[in-house]
Chain A
Amino acid sequence: MKKFDQQFFTRDSESWVGMEVDELVGFLLPKCQEVITTDRLRQKISKHSTLKVKFGIDPTASEIHIGHVVPIMLLRQFAKAGHHIDFIIGDFTARVGDPTARDTSRVPLNPEQIMKNMETYTSQIGKYIDLRMLNIHYNAKWLNPMTLQEIFTIFQNVNLSEAMQREDFRMRMRNEQAVSLAEVCYGVLMGIDSVYLGTHVEIGGIDQLLNFQQCRKIMRQFSMDEEIVLMTPILEGTSGDGRKMSKSYGNYIAVNATHEDKFGKIMSIPDRLIGQYFRCFADVHQRELDDLDVFIEENPMEAKKQLATLIVAAETRCIENGLRERESFERKFSRKNICHEDCIELTEDLNSTIFDALIKSGRFKSKSELRRLFEQQGVRSINEDGEVVLSPEIVVNQVCGVVRVGKRHFFRFITG
């Protein structure tokens, strides 16, 4: 059996400084949905021993999920290859609000929210990339003091009609949703970031395409070489309904989730997503893709376990942590051997119904959520004889063994 998890993990600590151009590009491309353009990327890497690679974020949320980490994994490859990473914190642009992929305007943030979000954001991405490899910049530093004259000179070359006619704006206006003037200017401000930093390569999600096009135009206006753009796919959520990973859809894996939770949620993704997740989170070379895809096709369960192992290992930079999580998962779900440490202990009156006891545990968002789990036969007692589906009315006294709720939560009742 192939061990892709261990094979890819060994690359985690490798230095790629001095790597041949084609070899490096071979690692970069599997992570990209689109590159503008691959030929120019090769040329740039050949020409500059140290490329200036830009990645920008507007710290609009405090808690991120692994979908947000996808471009970070690409950025990390450039860092390993010794390139200069400019990490832009959009403390100015966050006040404007990135219109990308929004069906309504973002609420602009105040400086205090931005700084608070930033602190939690960096601590989270620090699990995936060594923060010492990043040159962190705050774009208010150069955008805030731009004079009327300076901004006029840039704006005079950007056609108003074109800026307003972005497909996402048109769609929002068709739906009578507001698009602010600031949003129209957003791509230009991103372009000014690139001009200020002399960016060679910019990284971001494919949903940023329109902003990147604007960036390239602004650079051209300044007679600079247009930046190369590498766009990562938008990670699909765990539920397999085709929607992007998002907190709003409840199909996300939080970066701050426990290893156990991460492992379990990876195990819940549909098989067709295994390949995409491997490409996003592992250093897979183009020449290995066929082998990997065959392996996934033939051994989806094993491939998923290796993927989950790798994701936990990459975050902790320790393969043993991933393997330990795998062992724990297999014990609980394959061998159905639940030990005390796996369970949440609840002290309850013997005559309480199991529904009341579980709701009191505070582990469920609402009564409806728990009721739904009962309706879906997702609440079961587990003992040596097997599993028994429980109804909500059953009293605690009648429950034998451990109670599993949903796919991965275990409870044990201590009657008081």
Chain B
Amino acid sequence: MITHSICKSLCTPPDVLRLGFSVWARNSPKDYLSIYPKAAEEVQKKIGAKNVFLCALVDDVWPIIALSRTHIEQQNISNQFITLLPNLGFHEVHLVSDFVRDVTLGTYLPYATRVTISEFWKLLPQSKKNILDNLTLNEILGFLWHIHVLQIALREFKLTGLLVGIRSEFFYLTARKLLSSCDVYFINTS
């Protein structure tokens, strides 16, 4: 299930692994998400940790903005995540609106000074490159926002690593220098 990982070289593995999984609450959650708790166990076995906790980071802020949703509309979808994910094996579920309180430009724009256009270009999926004329600067904004969310989550929930679908590999490779304090495990979701 785990294809590969980017890890700090540790002499001794931590007793407790705290892994994060970030998900954009755009649509109702699907059962395929159960793959992540299984992957978390695989990571635990692989590195020999005693325990593993998997935290879902449910982004309920970006959909409100990007999809022009009302808070009530979003809340309906977010509630489905809160209900379903523990049943799928997630140990904790956190809504981004609960732990990222400062959403002002000054907090996340500085990340943009440390990422180049070329790096960003690599992370853009081919499907988006095909419609480049329709893309706006919000592609950059979304990227910065996601970095900001992960950065806060890492600190707030004392995460030691992140589980990531292989399709997001470019994002994490690009974000790696900004999120250097955590391990990243790539999961084959196909």
B62 surroundings in chain A (CB, below 8 A)? 148
B144 surroundings in chain A (CB, below 8 A)? 181
Residue B116 at the chain A interface, CB threshold 8 Å: yes
CA–CA, A160 and B65, complex, Å? 18
A173 surroundings in chain B (CB, below 8 A)? 117-118
Kindly identify which residue among B65, B106, B138 contacts A92, using a CB–CB cutoff of 8 Å. B106
A160 engages B135 (CB within 8 Å): yes
A169 surroundings in chain B (CB, below 8 A)? 117
Kindly identify which residue among A96, A151, A158, A161 contacts B133, using a CB–CB cutoff of 8 Å. A161
B106 engages A152 (CB within 8 Å): no
Among residues 81 to 124 in chain A, which have CB atoms less than 8 Å away from a CB atom of chain B?
92, 95-97, 105, 108
B110 engages A95 (CB within 8 Å): yes
A158 surroundings in chain B (CB, below 8 A)? 136-137
Query: Known contacts A144-B106, A148-B103: does B135 contact A161 (CB below 8 Å)?
Result: yes
Kindly identify which residue among A147, A152, A156, A180 contacts B116, using a CB–CB cutoff of 8 Å. A180
Kindly identify which residue among A145, A155, A180 contacts B114, using a CB–CB cutoff of 8 Å. A180
B72 surroundings in chain A (CB, below 8 A)? none
Residue A334 at the chain B interface, CB threshold 8 Å: no
Among residues 157 to 192 in chain A, which have CB atoms less than 8 Å away from a CB atom of chain B?
157-161, 163-164, 169, 173, 178-182, 184-185, 188
CB of A244 to closest CB in B, whole Å? 25
A146 engages B104 (CB within 8 Å): yes
B104 engages A96 (CB within 8 Å): no
Chain A, residue nearest B134 (CB): A159
A152 engages B113 (CB within 8 Å): no
CA–CA, A185 and B106, complex, Å? 13
CB of B190 to closest CB in A, whole Å? 28
A161 surroundings in chain B (CB, below 8 A)? 132-133, 135
Among residues 279 to 336 in chain A, which have CB atoms less than 8 Å away from a CB atom of chain B?
none
Contact-residue size bin, chain B (C-beta under 8 Å from the other chain):
20 to 34
CB of B29 to closest CB in A, whole Å? 23
A181 surroundings in chain B (CB, below 8 A)? 112-113, 115-117, 120, 140, 143-144
CA–CA, A151 and B148, complex, Å? 15
Chain A, residue nearest B129 (CB): A161
A149 surroundings in chain B (CB, below 8 A)? 65, 103
Encoded as 1 (CB less than 8 Å from any A CB) or 0, chain B from 50 to 87 comes to 00000000000110011000000000000000000000
CA–CA, A108 and B113, complex, Å? 7
CA–CA, A151 and B137, complex, Å? 10
A156 engages B136 (CB within 8 Å): yes
Kindly identify which residue among B61, B112, B132, B143 contacts A96, using a CB–CB cutoff of 8 Å. B112
CA–CA, A146 and B105, complex, Å? 5
Query: Known contacts A151-B141, A155-B137: does B106 contact A164 (CB below 8 Å)?
Result: no
Residue B139 at the chain A interface, CB threshold 8 Å: yes
Kindly identify which residue among A95, A140, A148, A160 contacts B132, using a CB–CB cutoff of 8 Å. A160
CB of A118 to closest CB in B, whole Å? 18
CA–CA, A158 and B118, complex, Å? 19
Residue A373 at the chain B interface, CB threshold 8 Å: no
CB of B101 to closest CB in A, whole Å? 12
Encoded as 1 (CB less than 8 Å from any B CB) or 0, chain A from 115 to 149 comes to 00000000000000000000000001001111111
A152 surroundings in chain B (CB, below 8 A)? 65-66, 138, 141
B136 engages A96 (CB within 8 Å): no
CA–CA, A155 and B113, complex, Å? 17
B110 surroundings in chain A (CB, below 8 A)? 95-96, 108, 182
B138 surroundings in chain A (CB, below 8 A)? 152, 155-156
Among residues 175 to 218 in chain A, which have CB atoms less than 8 Å away from a CB atom of chain B?
178-182, 184-185, 188
CB of A26 to closest CB in B, whole Å? 40
CA–CA, A182 and B104, complex, Å? 15
Encoded as 1 (CB less than 8 Å from any A CB) or 0, chain B from 92 to 121 comes to 000000000001111001101111111010
A148 engages B137 (CB within 8 Å): no
Closest 9 CB pairs of A and B: A144-B106, A182-B112, A155-B137, A181-B112, A146-B105, A160-B135, A178-B116, A148-B103, A182-B113
| 16 A-B interface contacts by CB (under 8 A) | A92-B106, A96-B112, A146-B105, A148-B145, A149-B103, A156-B138, A159-B137, A160-B135, A160-B139, A161-B132, A179-B116, A180-B112, A181-B112, A181-B113, A181-B140, A181-B143
